Amino acid sequence: MNHDDSERERELFARLEADMTSRSGPDAGADLVDLDKARSATRPDGADRPIESADGAQAGSGAESADRAEDESADPEKTVVVDSPGPDGPGFWDGARRARRLPILPAWVRSRAELAASARWLAGYSGHITAYHAVRTPLYAGKLALRSPAGAAKTVGAVGRWLADAEGAPLRRWAVAEANAQEYFRLSRQRDHRVKLRALLFVLASIVGVGAAIALYVLAPTWVHLVTGGALVAALGWIGAPADAPVITRAVQRPKADKLTSDMVLRALGALGIPAINQAQAKGRDGLAFVAPITRDGPGWRAEGDLPFGVTVTDVIDRRERLASGLRRPLGCVWPEAVPEEHTGRLVMWVGDQDMSKAKQPAWPLAKTGSVNLFKPVAWGTDQRGRWVELTLMYIAGIIGAIPRMGKTFLLRLLLLIAALDQRAELHTYDLKGTGDLDPVGDRVSHRHRAGDEDEDIEYILNGLREVRTEMRRRTKVIRGLPRDLCPESKVTSELADKKELGLHPIVIGVDECQVLFEHAKYGGEFEEICTDLVKRGPATGIVLLLATQRPDAKSLPTGISANAGARWCLKVMSQVENDMVLGTSAYKRGIRATMFAWADKGICYFVGEGADARIVRGVFADAPTADTIALRARAARMLAGTLTGHAAGEAVESETAGSGYDLLADILAVMPEDKAWNEVIVARLANLRPEVYQGWGAEQLTAALKPHGVSTGQVWGTTDAGKGANRRGIKRAAILAAADTESDGQAGAA
Ligand SMILES: Nc1ncnc2c1ncn2[C@@H]1O[C@H](COP(=O)(O)OP(=O)(O)OP(=O)(O)O)[C@@H](O)[C@H]1O
């Protein structure tokens, strides 16, 4: 419906409504019927599938609304005018203010990296075509020379036919067969005229042509003879080429993907088995009200529309496999998505030309050259449309979850490689799977690195994390002490990280299979407590914690951590619980479902972070040799900048081990002569005893740290410094002694 039509429709409604209100008598009910009938009569129902508004398409057919109105009109007294006869909706200016502005330039033009990538692709593509044909030029020349006699014969034949007006012969034959003498004579006369004129032209052209040829032969240099002769042979060869054997063959073969049409989309939606869509289609409606034309969007097609009332995009996402079958496309090509800023029935269906897991990824800009500023966004993967997706590693804590073999470790290693390329960053890499997947980064660049889950590995990691937490506390004090103009937002900035004397360089910790830490019988509680603290307070102080797990449940990824992570990557998982654990509560309900990924979708994940809604991204594929090369580059940059430290520099970073004298229970017993004491008193004494470990501990931390030892805290009576009696959380010496005895018995038994 065009603009004029809708204007006319609005006028018609206004007149009918004004008429109805002025006659609010017994006829008013009938007017309501008329009004609805008028509405349904003016609704677009064109031969071409129109782009309808959700209301127009889904409000039910005109007949249905008329039926409803007739029922209501049975008792005019009870009729309530639900739709007020006022204006249709927001005024023009309101509408204009809320209108979604479409980008002036397409996304690939706005991104310098994408533009450069497109230019590189174009140069490569043209280069390939040029080289392909250049190599075959002698072949083409031979083919043309061989075919030139046939071309000459064809040319002579065509000229002869032209001179004899051969194209008019069938008409003349027809006139003879029909015995139409008058027509025959008319055609013959026309032919005689034509032949005379063409013969004259031919003679003139021959004289000029032969003259020119003789002049060329006599006057022109040899190279002109060769060029002219070559061009003549090439032209005759071209003319002589059979239609089914062209001289030049194709340098590239483009894969052919069918155009996506509205019929295909509706057929596929109808095949999903969603009752509301099927009912709508059975009644002759579409089942999807398109709100925009189906267009090309990157290397694929995009269709957008409103599903019937009550059907949500998640219903469609749940049936992605059926949708792919309905569209007759591979599963990896079909990506139904919700539109976050719209209602839950607004569906965007992106159908790629190629399976996302098989489509060639553009070359990663950082694979061969370049360095990183962790405070700025860095490309780490591509979306379905092949566009780069960026991430700023600073100020986040991240979790990566997936079932085994889907690319979790590769993704973690990729993020650590990015961190390695910022020469200021201090890396701590812990590979609890123990297969050495993080060794390329760890051995070349990391300040601390360990692969394995033996007791001594766990203790090494525990000490590393304790040190980082102590460092975090130091940093909070440094940041607090900085003048406002240097640190306006009370967090580390790139400029502050550059100032070596402040020691605020980024610290990036990557832990693969982190569930091993949190489920550890002895230190699990302390790992949980430190990591929760790092996830909450680390980002502002320049400390980034990245945790990867193949079993994202409450035990392997404590909720205090998963709830506070700022970035989330979820590769294929098997159920809603794991999905929501990684992507956030109710992500599954909102249609963000990593369960829909196929087994072949390795490296493809839902990514939440960088201030945007969940996006489907395929991480850059950096295998071990590539990771090695990048890590070597990062190492070289660090050596030059003097920032290669710790494990990678061959220095021993172990300052203490968990088993070398330090033991929480022993420490408590050492500082607790009385039978019972408040937590706050104990932590203050512990901080005196071993400040590098206990400095900054609060009462709650002590409770959490004692939990894995089987010691629970409770209300304890004590006196404040002012001598006042009070009940506060505390511990009993007897409980600590009992736990210490049990542990030493256990260790003796194990030995
Ligand atoms: N971005 C990617 N693109 C394509 N393939 C990938 C990508 N990332 C990983 N893969 C493939 O997935 C396989 C499994 O990757 P990875 O070892 O990281 O899985 P994982 O989830 O860590 O497995 P596990 O839980 O057993 O450690 C790799 O061998 C690799 O071939």
Is 439:452 a contact under the CB 8 Å cutoff? no
HEC-encoded secondary structure of 87-105: CCCCCHHHHHHHCCCCCCC
Tell how strand 426-431 and strand 448-451 pair up.
Answer: parallel
476: annotated binding-site residue?
no
246 lines ligand 1 (CB under 6 A): no
Per-residue pLDDT tens digits for 513-554:
999 999 999 899 899 999 999 999 999 999 999 999 987 677
432 Cα–ligand 1 center, Å: 16
The pLDDT value recorded for residue 511 is 97
Assess whether 314 and 385 both reside in one domain.
no
Provide the 3-class DSSP secondary structure of residue 582. Answer: helix
The span from the CA of 114 to the CA of 214, in Å, is 58
Find, among 310, 311, 301, the residue nearest to 333 by Cα.
Answer: 301
405: annotated binding-site residue?
yes
402: annotated binding-site residue?
yes
The pLDDT value recorded for residue 85 is 60
The pLDDT value recorded for residue 256 is 62
Who's near 80: CB < 8 A, 6+ residues apart? Answer: none
The pLDDT value recorded for residue 690 is 78
Assess whether 644 and 675 both reside in one domain.
no
* DSSP class of 381: E
Instruction: Report residue 243 CA to chain centroid gap.
Output: 46
The span from the CA of 404 to the CA of 413, in Å, is 15
Give the amino acid at 640.
L
403: annotated binding-site residue?
yes
Q: Which among 410, 570, 574 is the best mutation to test ligand 1's pocket, defined by most ligand atoms within 8 Å of the CB?
A: 410
404 lines ligand 1 (CB under 6 A): yes
CATH number, position 322: 3.30.980
The pLDDT value recorded for residue 119 is 85
408 lines ligand 1 (CB under 6 A): yes
602 lines ligand 1 (CB under 6 A): yes
Assess whether 545 and 684 both reside in one domain.
no
The span from the CA of 603 to the CA of 570, in Å, is 10
- Tokens of residue 199, six digits: 């013969």
387 Cα–ligand 1 center, Å: 21
Residue with tokens 């009070």, as numbered in its chain = 726
Strands (E), 558-600: 567-570
Last residue of a domain, one of 352, 387, 412: 352
- Tokens of residue 157, six digits: 């034949």
Per-residue pLDDT tens digits for 383-401:
988 888 999 999 999 999 9
551 lines ligand 1 (CB under 6 A): no
320 lines ligand 1 (CB under 6 A): no
Give the amino acid at 213.
A
407: annotated binding-site residue?
yes
Assess whether 228 and 168 both reside in one domain.
yes
**Number of other CB atoms surrounding residue 193 within 10 Å:** 11
Find, among 419, 354, 369, 410, the residue nearest to 392 by Cα.
Answer: 419
Q: From its phi and psi, is residue 25 left (phi > 0), alpha (psi between -120 and 50) or beta?
A: beta
The span from the CA of 524 to the CA of 705, in Å, is 9
Q: How many residues does the chain have?
A: 751
Q: Whose CA is nearest to atom 16 of ligand 1?
A: 407
The span from the CA of 374 to the CA of 542, in Å, is 10
386 Cα–ligand 1 center, Å: 20
Assess whether 430 and 521 both reside in one domain.
yes
103: annotated binding-site residue?
no
719 Cα–ligand 1 center, Å: 58
402 lines ligand 1 (CB under 6 A): yes
Assess whether 57 and 175 both reside in one domain.
no
Give the amino acid at 233.
V
The span from the CA of 587 to the CA of 576, in Å, is 9
Find, among 383, 378, 404, 411, the residue nearest to 393 by Cα.
Answer: 378
Q: Which residues pair with 350 in a beta bridge?
A: 302, 335
**Number of other CB atoms surrounding residue 368 within 10 Å:** 11
Closest ligand 1 atom to residue 433 Cα is 27
107 Cα–ligand 1 center, Å: 30
Provide the 3-class DSSP secondary structure of residue 116. Answer: helix
Assess whether 638 and 673 both reside in one domain.
no
The span from the CA of 442 to the CA of 431, in Å, is 9
Establish if 205 belongs to a structural domain: yes
CA dihedral 114, 115, 117, 122 (to 10 degrees): 140
Assess whether 54 and 123 both reside in one domain.
no
406 lines ligand 1 (CB under 6 A): yes
Q: Whose CA is nearest to atom 20 of ligand 1?
A: 405
Residue with tokens 């065509």, as numbered in its chain = 158
Residue with tokens 């379905």, as numbered in its chain = 384
Tell how strand 567-570 and strand 398-401 pair up.
Answer: parallel
Q: Which among 364, 403, 409, 438 is the best mutation to test ligand 1's pocket, defined by most ligand atoms within 8 Å of the CB?
A: 409
**pLDDT under 50: residue ranges of the chain:** 1-3, 16, 20-48, 52-74, 655-661, 750-751
* DSSP class of 312: -
The span from the CA of 313 to the CA of 336, in Å, is 8
Establish if 102 belongs to a structural domain: no
The span from the CA of 336 to the CA of 593, in Å, is 11
Give the amino acid at 537.
R
DSSP string covering 689-744, please?
H-HHHHTT--HHHHHHHHGGGT---EEEEEE-TTS-EEEEEEEEHHHHHHHHHHHH
Phi, psi of 260 (to 5 degrees): -85, 125
Establish if 603 belongs to a structural domain: no
Assess whether 150 and 15 both reside in one domain.
no
434 lines ligand 1 (CB under 6 A): no
**Complex ipTM:** 0.97
Establish if 433 belongs to a structural domain: yes
The span from the CA of 684 to the CA of 149, in Å, is 104
Establish if 708 belongs to a structural domain: yes
Assess whether 405 and 536 both reside in one domain.
yes
621 lines ligand 1 (CB under 6 A): yes
Establish if 329 belongs to a structural domain: yes
Is 395:540 a contact under the CB 8 Å cutoff? yes
List the domain range (segments joined by +) for residue 285: 262-352
407 Cα–ligand 1 center, Å: 3
Assess whether 341 and 449 both reside in one domain.
no
The span from the CA of 409 to the CA of 234, in Å, is 59
Instruction: Report residue 56 CA to chain centroid gap.
Output: 33
The span from the CA of 634 to the CA of 621, in Å, is 18
Instruction: Report residue 715 CA to chain centroid gap.
Output: 51
HEC-encoded secondary structure of 649-700: HCCCCCCCCCCCCCCHHHHHHHHCCCCEEEHHHHHHHHHHHCHHHHCCCCHH
* DSSP class of 301: E
- Tokens of residue 116, six digits: 């450069």
Assess whether 484 and 629 both reside in one domain.
yes
Helix axes 733-750, 664-671, angle to 10 degrees: 140
264: annotated binding-site residue?
no
Establish if 419 belongs to a structural domain: yes
CATH number, position 438: 3.40.50.300
What is the domain count for the chain? 5
Closest ligand 1 atom to residue 437 Cα is 17
Establish if 609 belongs to a structural domain: no
- Tokens of residue 545, six digits: 């914690």
